[in-house]
Amino acid sequence: MSCVQKANMLPEKDPKRQGEKDPQEDPSVTLFREYLRIKTVQPEPDYDTAVKFLERIGSELGLQCQKVEVCPGRVITILTWKGTNPHLRSILLNSHTDVVPVFEEYWRYDPFSAFKDSEGNIYARGAQDMKCVSIQYIEAIRKLKAEGRQFPRTVHMSFVPDEEIGGHKGMEMFVKRPEFATLNVGFALDEGLANPTDTFTVFYGEKCPWWIKVKVEGNPGHGSRFIENTAAEKMHRVITSFLEFREREKQRLKSEKHLTLGDVTSLNLTMLNGGISFNVVPSEMSAAFDIRIPPTVDLKAFEEQLTAWCRAAGEGVSYEFHQKYTDQSVTSTEESDPWWKAFSGTCRDMNMKLQCEIFPAATDSRYIRAAGHPAIGFSPMNRTPVLLHDHNEFLNEQVFLRGIEIYAHLISALASVLPLQAEA
């Protein structure tokens, strides 16, 4: 039975599918599912509805709300819980509002219905990446405020657009604006990944994404002849050099058991273009590569290697960058660091096993770190398959609810970190 057939067999009036409220459902889960139903899907995300949703919640919780339009149609929403000593550096809880596209024919349920099955699994685009974290932040603060708690440090929640397409009209612009500077950020939390084991993965740094297009020029002619120095021959040499390096890194990851995906350079050929007709040898071809480089790699030496591969392929071979991120800042995970000590100590108190890694892709954390602020990538989803950007993305409601408890403890600890030497 196909996925489409299964979806069509769903009851038409199932309240969990239609978006009606279930009186027996935890209100935090209901809010999470409401947020999931807002179609902030690229390339045309409904940001206006998302911002109104967040404003409504901020008003309910008595939080200050600020909206910063970093460019037309791209608004950063900031909800602020003021601390008792606002001169201290603040805690920033960041999340993005957009989600990646879907191929609905491969989904068991409508990816924007937030359908919950009998096991409590909530299916929706953004269930893991990362609307769960947004609502967990909110509900953790709701819980703390209901308990009458107050903390010295101010807590900001930032909800940013366009992370899924690079953050160039979102966090990258925001960190350069005076409104970000006035947040007085001391430490930030952002997204991580699910972990199928009992362990929680924590990310203290990220790879540098390099997107390059290699262009080759060669002799054209009739498709029946053995023409010398064709673009295809040169492109073959380029691709061979790049993919041989890819295989070496792949084997290194397999053979050195202590390594994770974040510790090696990933490289993939993602686009190949050239030619106009079957019987015409093209004079030009191009290939696009997505390269992700860990912070342990010398970027200057790596680019020299790219240049050497292109030079070895022959004359008329060049490359251009479509993205070249070079900041290799990482956040301290030493117990002597007060922020990490508060984070890791709280997790130990909750008997959480942490695994520290370099994030294998890229998130908005890289812009926060580049601006000089420590940031940790963390999504409290253990015993959960990694399904970000995948079909049938889901999160179990019990995992979601536990994440609220985890964030409540983490926010309490981080917002209570004693004044640092620079703040005295």
Binding-site residue set for Zn(2+): 96, 129, 164, 191, 389
Q: Are 161 and 64 in a shared domain?
A: yes
Q: Is residue 178 part of a domain?
A: yes
- Note if 163 is an active site residue: yes
| Exposure of 414 in the CB half-sphere (CA atoms within 13 A) | 28
Instruction: Look up 190 and say whether it is catalytic.
Output: no
In a domain, 354, yes or no: no
- The strands making up 90-96's β-sheet, listed across from edge to edge, are 64-71, 74-81, 155-160, 90-96, 185-190, 375-378, 200-206, 354-359
Note whether 375 and 171 are within 8 A (CB): no
Q: Is residue 355 part of a domain?
A: no
- Kindly tell me the number of DSSP H helices and DSSP E strands found in the chain: 12, 17
Say whether both 156 and 17 belong to one domain: yes
Residue by residue, pLDDT tens for the chain (424 residues) are 333 333 333 333 344 444 456 778 999 999 999 999 999 999 999 999 999 999 999 999 999 999 999 999 999 999 999 999 999 999 999 999 999 999 999 999 999 999 999 999 999 999 999 999 999 999 999 999 999 999 999 999 999 999 999 999 999 999 999 999 999 999 999 999 999 999 999 999 999 999 999 999 999 999 999 999 999 999 999 999 999 999 999 999 999 999 999 999 999 999 999 999 999 999 999 999 999 999 999 999 999 999 999 999 999 999 999 999 999 999 999 999 999 999 999 999 999 999 999 999 999 999 999 999 999 999 999 999 999 999 999 999 999 999 999 999 999 999 999 999 988 7
The pLDDT assigned to 1 comes to: 33
Q: Is residue 304 part of a domain?
A: yes
Q: Which of 22, 34, 60, 98 is catalytic?
A: 98
Instruction: Please tell me which residue in 163, 206, 263, 357 is annotated as part of the active site.
Output: 163
Is residue 363 within 8 Å of 164, Cβ to Cβ? no
Where does 6-86 show beta strands of DSSP type E? 64-71, 74-81
Provide the annotated binding site: 96, 129, 164, 191, 389
Give the type of residue at 18.
Answer: Q
- pTM metric for this prediction: 0.90
Q: Is 95 among the domain residues? A: yes
Domain of residue 368: give its range.
Answer: 3-192+363-423
Domain identity same for 11 and 84: yes
pLDDT score, position 187 = 98
Where is the domain boundary, 322, 351, 374?
322
Q: Tell me the three-class secondary structure of 264-296, residue by residue.
A: CCEEEEEEEEECCCCCEECCEEEEEEEEEECCC
Classify residue 106 by its DSSP letter: G
Do 114 and 64 fall into the same domain? yes
pLDDT for the residue numbered 20: 58
Domain boundary, last residue among 290, 322, 354: 322
Q: Do 223 and 100 reside in the same domain of the chain?
A: no
Residues 79 and 133 in one domain: yes
Kindly state whether residue 343 falls inside one of the protein's structural domains: no
Residue 219 sits in a domain whose CATH number is 3.30.70.360
**Domain stops at, among 296, 322, 348:** 322
Query: By the 8 A CB rule, do 339 and 414 touch?
Result: yes
Question: Greatest CA separation found in the chain?
Answer: 82
31, exposed or middle or buried, with CB in 10 Å at 0-12, 13-18, 19+? middle
- 36 lies in some domain: yes
CA 188 to chain centre: 14
Q: What pLDDT is recorded for position 8?
A: 37
Number of domains, the chain: 2
What pLDDT, on the 0 to 100 scale, is given for residue 424? 72
Residue 22: predicted pLDDT:
76
Pair 232, 287: CB distance under 8 Å: no
